[in-house]
């Protein structure tokens, strides 16, 4: 628990507010005790000793101390709500930064549903544990218990002994059940994440599911996950009932013993009637506070499981890249003896390959499907790192560079993603460009005409709540985005595959014009797209089997000839 708390406390940046919150808790715990002590004076002084002149004063003080806790309670809630809200914002930001920085291999192992569940539920739980709920309530319980113990000791020593005994029993129960509560809670959390993953997957695959009429299969899959979740909740509930079944008798037993001892004290004239009433009220309050503290401790064990989930993402210390400055231009890009597989137990996708990408040229990579073309692009954008060998940029291993490297290289994917925003924002991604430059680039990439055909033109919303774009329109927009960024190196991975041959030819011609003198790496199936490249690498089963310009490959490479001739036939 201590490690979870210290982990979360690193992210609380409103520590001064805590002083205010805990001062409110101190007063909230103390004032009801004083109010109860006033009852003793009311009984012993006013009613038993008949000092009626004291009555208005005691009544007025009672009213003040009775309503005091409500005020301090409100102050505490407001203060901790602010700290908790701030903590959730900070944790969410840290979480997103960590996801962005997570090596792609690690990210691929996480389900989007599970990450969303982490953001939605676990961060709120962490805030409840450390700020809003558990910690502040527990501190209030503990302070009240301390005040009550002193007050009871002042009235009747025997009552104090019962109270201490009950506290020890509670502590032993907590020790016995705490770890198990955490385990049940972890199980519930895992099953809940599985339900979230099932929902996320069934929504993501909706097109295929409907097309193949497999709705029942998906619904049954969801039902199965939900039933596991439900079973875990029932198990957790039964365990909680078992704890209550054991702990409740202590509550009531203690009160009865307090009445017995107090009653004997009054009958034998060792304590006054007022002390008996107040002493019993204190024991009653104390047992309630102990019960609440016990409850908080069990909930804390549950929430600790959430903090561990967050920690498993935010607490990762995998560092993706180095921090070397990159102020120069890219002068060389080279794969030296690179071998790579996507996981330790799968075969190598790239097999001891060495490639030189001449700067300022158009370089193409061709090969059959699955030969490893996109994987080369993934290594160039640092999504993955080689198992053996190295990718060198200016003779320095690529991962040594900080994020400046990313500003020098951009990539267009076959299926680009657009944020739910306007076309303009998707093109600029919050960078500022002159409207005329945006328009000219879109004209070159042959998308200006269809953009101005929309009623809101460049302000048209795309993405989830906007218009749907065709595959070819999306690719042209993505190309415009990359052309606007105009990086030193541009990688196009099947970036024009959805365009018809005529449009693809025109777009490609304009790309060549705009990228003249700049390094452009093109991965393509259609040879016609890259026929004019300065150098073409032919990849087969993860190996470079030929390289050179089109004419040379036509006369020397059988695989290249096969690829070319097959496309001519089609
Ligand atoms: N993220 C991944 N995890 C595991 N294996 C992968 C991953 N991406 C690709 N592969 C595997 O690596 C091999 C090469 O894939 P890659 O995408 O590099 O080939 P490609 O030549 O670009 O194919 P295509 O022309 O069909 O796009 C394939 O066998 C593929 O199954």
Q: How far is the CA of 373 from the centre of ligand 1 (A)?
A: 8
Name the closest-CA residue to atom 10, ligand 1.
Answer: 342
Q: How far is the CA of 349 from the centre of ligand 1 (A)?
A: 8
Q: How far is the CA of 342 from the centre of ligand 1 (A)?
A: 9
- Report d(CA 524, CA 530) in Å as an integer: 7
> What is the CATH T-level fold of the domain 2-13+89-314, as seen in this structure?
ABC transporter transmembrane region fold (1.20.1560)
Q: What is the pLDDT of residues 458-496, one digit of tens each?
A: 998 886 655 678 888 999 999 999 999 889 999 999 888
Q: Give me the pLDDT at residue 352, please.
A: 92
Name the closest-CA residue to atom 23, ligand 1.
Answer: 370
Confidence class of residue 195 from pLDDT cuts 50, 70 and 90? confident
Q: How far is the CA of 482 from the centre of ligand 1 (A)?
A: 23
Distances (CA, A) of 233 to 33, 189, 239, 252: 39, 9, 10, 28
Name the closest-CA residue to atom 3, ligand 1.
Answer: 342
Q: How far is the CA of 217 from the centre of ligand 1 (A)?
A: 28
**HEC string for 503-539:** HHHHHHHHHHHHCCCCEEEEECCCHHHHCCCCEEEEE
Q: How far is the CA of 353 from the centre of ligand 1 (A)?
A: 16
Closest atom of ligand 1 to CA, residue 377: 18
Q: Give me the pLDDT at residue 113, please.
A: 67
Q: What angle do CA 497, 500, 506 make, to 5 degrees?
A: 95
Q: What is the pLDDT of residues 250-272, one digit of tens each?
A: 767 777 877 888 888 888 888 88
Confidence class of residue 132 from pLDDT cuts 50, 70 and 90? low
Confidence class of residue 319 from pLDDT cuts 50, 70 and 90? low
Strands 489-493 and 519-523: parallel
Neighbours of 192 (CB within 10 A): 19
Name the closest-CA residue to atom 4, ligand 1.
Answer: 342
Name the closest-CA residue to atom 1, ligand 1.
Answer: 342
Closest atom of ligand 1 to CA, residue 414: 27
Q: How far is the CA of 374 from the centre of ligand 1 (A)?
A: 7
Name the closest-CA residue to atom 28, ligand 1.
Answer: 370
Closest atom of ligand 1 to CA, residue 104: 1
For 283-407, where are the E strands, in sequence order? 333-340, 350-357, 362-367, 388-393, 396-397
Confidence class of residue 355 from pLDDT cuts 50, 70 and 90? very high
In this structure, the residues whose C-beta lies within 6 A of any atom of ligand 1 are 108, 342, 349, 367, 369-375
Q: Which CATH superfamily is domain 333-569 in?
A: P-loop containing nucleotide triphosphate hydrolases (3.40.50.300)
Confidence class of residue 429 from pLDDT cuts 50, 70 and 90? confident
3-state helix, strand, coil split of the chain in percent (to 5) is 65, 10, 20
Name the closest-CA residue to atom 29, ligand 1.
Answer: 370
Q: Which residue has the tokens 């193409």?
A: 364
Q: Is 414 exposed, middle or buried (0-12, 13-18, 19+ CB in 10 A)?
A: middle
Q: How far is the CA of 410 from the centre of ligand 1 (A)?
A: 20
Asked whether residue 570 carries a pLDDT value surpassing 70, the answer given is no
Could you tell me which of 313, 409, 391 has the C-alpha nearest to residue 96?
Answer: 313
Q: Give me the pLDDT at residue 448, please.
A: 92
Q: How far is the CA of 319 from the centre of ligand 1 (A)?
A: 25
Asked whether residue 407 carries a pLDDT value surpassing 80, the answer given is yes
Helices (H) and strands (E) in the chain, counts: 21, 10
Name the closest-CA residue to atom 16, ligand 1.
Answer: 372
Name the closest-CA residue to atom 30, ligand 1.
Answer: 370
Instruction: Out of 372, 413, 492, give the residue to mutate to test ligand 1, the one with the largest number of ligand atoms within 8 Å of its CB.
Output: 372
Instruction: Out of 108, 343, 350, 370, give the residue to mutate to test ligand 1, the one with the largest number of ligand atoms within 8 Å of its CB.
Output: 370
Could you tell me which of 222, 195, 294 has the C-alpha nearest to residue 251?
Answer: 294
Percent of the chain with pLDDT over 90: 20
- Report d(CA 61, CA 84) in Å as an integer: 34
Q: Which residue has the tokens 């005994």?
A: 165
Q: Give me the pLDDT at residue 511, please.
A: 93
Q: Give me the pLDDT at residue 156, please.
A: 72
Name the closest-CA residue to atom 26, ligand 1.
Answer: 369
Rounded to 10 deg, the angle between the 157-204 and 134-155 helix axes is 170
Name the closest-CA residue to atom 6, ligand 1.
Answer: 342
DSSP string spanning 428-454? HTT----HHHHHHHHHHTT-HHHHHTS
Q: What is the pLDDT of residues 158-185, one digit of tens each?
A: 777 777 777 777 777 767 777 787 788 8
Neighbours of 312 (CB within 10 A): 12
Q: H-helix or E-strand containing 545?
A: strand 543-548
Instruction: Out of 109, 355, 373, 522, give the residue to mutate to test ligand 1, the one with the largest number of ligand atoms within 8 Å of its CB.
Output: 373
Q: What average pLDDT score do residues 391-403 get?
A: 88
> Phi then psi for 171, rounded to 5 degrees?
-60, -40
Name the closest-CA residue to atom 7, ligand 1.
Answer: 342
Q: What is the pLDDT of residues 217-263, one digit of tens each?
A: 888 888 898 999 999 999 988 888 887 777 777 767 777 877 888 88
Q: What's the mean per-residue pLDDT of the chain?
A: 83
Q: Give me the pLDDT at residue 488, please.
A: 92
Name the closest-CA residue to atom 9, ligand 1.
Answer: 375
Q: Give me the pLDDT at residue 111, please.
A: 66
Q: What is the pLDDT of residues 59-112, one digit of tens each?
A: 888 888 777 778 888 888 888 888 888 888 888 888 888 877 776 666 666 666
Q: Are 67 and 28 within 8 A, CB to CB?
A: no
Q: How far is the CA of 570 from the centre of ligand 1 (A)?
A: 25
Q: How far is the CA of 378 from the centre of ligand 1 (A)?
A: 10
Q: What angle do CA 227, 233, 236 make, to 5 degrees?
A: 145
Instruction: Out of 374, 386, 530, give the residue to mutate to test ligand 1, the one with the largest number of ligand atoms within 8 Å of its CB.
Output: 374
* CA 348, chain centre distance (Å): 32
Q: How far is the CA of 341 from the centre of ligand 1 (A)?
A: 10
Q: How far is the CA of 415 from the centre of ligand 1 (A)?
A: 15
Domain ranges of the chain: 2-13+89-314, 333-569
Residues in a beta bridge with 390: 336
Closest atom of ligand 1 to CA, residue 375: 18
Q: How far is the CA of 375 from the centre of ligand 1 (A)?
A: 6
Q: Is 250 helix (H, G, I), strand (E, B) or coil?
A: helix
Q: What average pLDDT score do residues 361-390 get?
A: 90
Could you tell me which of 226, 259, 402 has the C-alpha nearest to residue 320?
Answer: 402
Q: Give me the pLDDT at residue 2, please.
A: 67
Q: What is the DSSP letter of 403?
A: T
Q: Give me the pLDDT at residue 108, please.
A: 66
Q: Which residues contact 489 (CB under 8 A, 6 or more apart)?
A: 330, 333, 380, 408, 409, 410, 518, 519, 520, 521
């Amino acid at each position: 628990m201590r490690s979870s708390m210290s982990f979360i406390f690193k992210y609380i940046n409103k520590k001064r507010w805590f002083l205010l919150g805990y001062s409110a808790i101190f007063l909230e715990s103390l004032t009801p005790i004083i109010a109860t002590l006033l009852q003793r004076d009311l009984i012993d002084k006013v009613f038993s000793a008949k000092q009626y002149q004291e009555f208005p004063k005691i009544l007025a003080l009672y009213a003040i101390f009775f309503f005091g806790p409500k005020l301090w309670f409100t102050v505490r809630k407001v203060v901790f709500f602010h700290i908790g809200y701030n903590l959730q914002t900070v944790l969410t930001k840290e979480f997103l930064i960590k996801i962005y920085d997570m090596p792609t291999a690690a990210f691929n192992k996480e389900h989007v549903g599970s990450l969303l569940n982490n953001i939605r539920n676990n961060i709120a739980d962490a805030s409840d544990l450390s700020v809003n709920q558990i910690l502040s309530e527990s501190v209030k319980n503990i302070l009240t218990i301390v005040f009550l113990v002193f007050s009871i000791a002042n009235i009747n020593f025997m009552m104090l002994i019962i109270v201490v005994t009950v506290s020890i029993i509670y502590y032993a129960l907590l020790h016995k059940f705490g770890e198990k509560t955490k385990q049940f809670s972890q199980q519930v959390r895992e099953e809940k994440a599985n339900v979230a993953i099932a929902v996320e997957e069934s929504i993501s695959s909706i097109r295929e599911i409907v097309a193949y009429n497999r709705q029942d299969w998906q619904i049954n899959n969801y039902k199965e996950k939900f039933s596991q979740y439900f079973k875990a909740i029932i198990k957790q509930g039964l365990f909680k009932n078992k704890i209550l079944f054991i702990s409740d008798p202590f509550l009531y037993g203690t009160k009865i013993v307090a009445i017995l001892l107090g009653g004997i004290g009054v009958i034998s004239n060792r304590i006054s009637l007022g002390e008996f009433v107040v002493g019993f009220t204190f024991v009653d309050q104390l047992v309630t506070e102990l019960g609440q503290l016990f409850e908080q401790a069990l909930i804390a064990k549950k929430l600790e499981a959430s903090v561990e989930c967050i920690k498993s993402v935010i607490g990762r210390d995998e560092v993706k890249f180095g921090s070397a400055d990159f102020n120069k231009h890219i002068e060389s890009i080279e794969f030296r003896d690179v071998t790579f597989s996507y996981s330790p137990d799968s075969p190598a996708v790239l097999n001891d390959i060495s490639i030189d990408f001449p700067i300022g040229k158009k370089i193409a990579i061709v090969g059959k499907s699955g030969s490893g073309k996109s994987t080369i692009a993934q290594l160039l954008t640092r999504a993955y790192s080689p198992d053996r060998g190295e990718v060198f940029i200016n003779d320095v291993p690529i991962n040594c560079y900080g994020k400046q490297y990313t500003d020098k290289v951009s990539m267009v994917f076959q299926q680009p993603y657009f944020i739910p925003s306007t076309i303009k924002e998707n093109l600029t991604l919050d960078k500022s460009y002159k409207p005329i430059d945006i328009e000219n680039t879109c004209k070159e990439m042959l998308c200006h005409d269809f953009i101005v055909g929309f009623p809101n033109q460049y302000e048209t919303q795309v993405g989830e709540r906007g218009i749907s774009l065709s595959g070819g329109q999306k690719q042209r927009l993505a190309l415009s985005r990359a052309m606007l960024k105009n990086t030193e190196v541009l990688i196009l991975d099947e970036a024009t595959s959805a365009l018809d041959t005529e449009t693809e030819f025109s777009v490609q011609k304009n790309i060549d014009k705009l990228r003249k003198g700049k390094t452009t790496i093109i991965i393509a199936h259609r040879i016609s797209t890259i026929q004019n490249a300065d150098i073409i690498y032919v990849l087969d089963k993860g190996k470079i089997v030929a390289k050179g310009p089109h004419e040379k490959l036509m006369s020397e490479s059988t695989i290249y000839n096969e690829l070319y001739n097959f496309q001519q036939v089609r």
